[in-house]
Each structure stands twice: as structure tokens, then as C-alpha cells.
Amino acid sequence: MSVHIAFSGGLEDLFNKQRNLTVPLESQLTLKQLVFHLKDRYLQTRPELFMSGDSLRPGIIVLVNDMDWELCGKDDYVVQDRDAISFISTLHGG
């Protein structure tokens, strides 16, 4: 299976300026596990801007198929084949 990942709001700068990624997955992951996977395999710089402790940094909004992840279980959501998952940072200047 694979998922489509989009970064915006400045997060793309941490992932080699890539705004879109297709990420193949060998097993089913929760969103929390996916965040670790992205950090371990794709993040290029400044992990502290992506994660804080063992979870996603507060202030990053996640959309699962264009729906707020707070409506679908957040960390515990089980990622499905071909999901489109967006990570949007809110922390950059207004």
C-alpha cells in the first residue's frame, strides 16, 4: 500500500523542499507511527520542528483526506491505502 503526503506552511523546507511525496508502506500504520516513519526516512533537517517528544509538534495541523485529524482519532487513526495526508504548519509568520 502507499499513501500520498503533502507538506505546507513551511514544513516542506524540512523535507528537501518537497511539497508532495508518495510513501510506500509495508504494513498498516497508525498516524503516530507514520509520523515516526516520515521523520526516520524522509526528514532532512531540524527534527525538532516536526516532532516534540514522541509526537507531532503542537501547531502542526493534519488533514486526512481533507478532514481535520482531530475528527478521526488523531494519533490512533489507522492509515488506509491511498489516503491523502496533509501536514500544515501554523507556526510561520503571519
Residues 21-80 contacting other proteins, CB under 8 A: 57-59, 61, 63, 66-68, 70-73
Q: How far is CA 28 from CA 2, 44, 52, 76, in A?
A: 10, 24, 23, 12
Q: How far is the CB of 63 from other proteins (least distance, A)?
A: 8
Residue 89 makes contact with other proteins by CB under 8 A: yes
Residue 10 makes contact with other proteins by CB under 8 A: yes
Contact indicator for 49, 57 with CB cutoff of 8 Å: yes
Residue 92 makes contact with other proteins by CB under 8 A: yes
